Chains A and B, each alone.
Chain A
Amino acid sequence: MTVKVSLTVNGKPAAAEVEERTLLVSFIRETLRLTGTHVGCDTAQCGACTIHMDGQAVKSCNILAMQAEGKSITTIEGIASADGTLHPMQEAFRQNHGLQCGFCTPGMVMSAIDMLRHYPHPDEATIRAELDGNLCRCTGYHNIVKAIQAASQASA
């Protein structure tokens, strides 16, 4: 059976008929074709699928599209300015070489933005602890931590 799901995605209304078992990440990637949100593990471990739902970071591979009904979600495509200026967190990742293959990056950036909302000036230990839910196979995390620190100073 299909049901209608309606929500706000990156500030614009979005609606579609989906199967009830559709995961939010499949809705984002396959229905809306917003493929910046990645699927690394599909088991809620890696954080590559992290998006914001009503302003909170969540793993979209572990949520049904129907659980987002009526809510406002933001994906990696929705954080830069309309003129293409990168979000300060994206810019900090770029400046600090906080990525290599880039697969984990959308989730890292979305998670890091959420982190700074709760810890505006985190020290290194806090950043590492709060990144618990995001795995990176390439960078060894050093430059990711540096990028988040730089972003927290940029927004000071």
Chain B
Amino acid sequence: MYPFEYQTASSVADAASRLAAHGDAKLLAGGQTMIASMKLRLAQPSHLIDLAGAADMRGIQVSATEVTLGAMSRHAEVARSAAVQKAIPVLAKLAGGIGDRMVRNMGTIGGSVANNDPAADYPAAVLGLNATVRTNKRSIAADDFFLGMYETALAEGEIITSFSFPIPRRGAYMKFKNPASRYALVGVLVAQLADGSVRVAVTGAGPVVFRVPEMEKALTAQFAPEAVAGIKIPADGLNADIHAQADYRAHLITVMAKRAVAAALA
């Protein structure tokens, strides 16, 4: 790891001014991705600004219509929150399936979504549940947030402060885990939103999380596993690596979507 200067931020505003003061400064949330990339010398920040003390980035609020998660909510906090379990069970369950217990005790939703790993779980929740990403500058709709591999709509120096998830009628997430890394080989989140519209978000399969309009249409007409069983996803452009070929991932999308619909109905 290259040397850097460590600083702590007491609030979002404090973090923003520290970021602005140093060109090569980076934010540190749980560090579960950041520290590994610094060890590998893939990241070389001059300053590391720890957000753990920023009280205005914490907290979970549940209203009649939405769940708001502070960007510094740890995966374990979301998984264990009785209020989240009740309002959006799929969100708590997804958080409880990230990595392992020790990673969940440190990792945060803000760090995960900002990092936008192609195989991360939270991007599927943000896109599939039609969440809004709130930053220190603006609100960004999920459909406009995830741009490409590790690429998001966040501008230089922009900080995610919280996420608002509208409470859906039902939803489920099915993850086919890579047994070594625990990341998603393919993960599919299916949700029927409050207005009856359906979203299908896929992570792990492509360079970035994406929706499947054909499945959404079929499920809007009939919310049942059979509705998606016959929908084949083309393998073009999907990830291929030592863990799985593109056509295998394409096949898994349909299988996981079917299972997610069944689980959402259960």
Contact = CB atoms under 8 A, between A and B. Distances in A.
Contacts of B52: 67
A66 B32 contact: no
Contacts of B100: 47, 132-134
Contacts of A64: 6, 28, 31, 35, 48
A44 B32 contact: yes
A45 B48 CA distance: 23
Interface stretch (B13-21, B65-73, B102-110): B102-110
Interface stretch (A27-35, A51-59, A80-88, A91-99): A51-59
Contacts of B4: 20-21
A154 B50 CA distance: 40
A62 B32 contact: yes
Contacts, number: 72
A3 interface: yes
Which of B4, B100, B101 is most buried by chain A, counting CB atoms within 10 A of its CB? B101
B31 A62 contact: yes
A67 B2 contact: no
Interface residues of A, number: 29
Given A44-B32, A67-B50, A132-B182, A111 B3 contact: no
Interface string B76-113: 10001000000000000000000111110110000000
Contacts of A44: 32, 36, 102-103
Contacts of B195: none
A66 B6 contact: yes
Contacts of A134: 100
Q: 4 closest Cβ contacts across the A-B interface?
A: A133-B100, A132-B100, A20-B6, A56-B105
Given A20-B3, A20-B6, 20 more contacts: A21-B2, A23-B35, A42-B39, A43-B36, A43-B39, A44-B102, A44-B103, A57-B102, A58-B106, A59-B102, A63-B31, A63-B106, A67-B28, A67-B31, A111-B101, A118-B80, A132-B182, A133-B100, A133-B102, A134-B100
Interface of A: 1, 3, 19-21, 23, 42-45, 47, 50, 56-59, 62-64, 66-67, 111, 114-115, 118, 130, 132-134
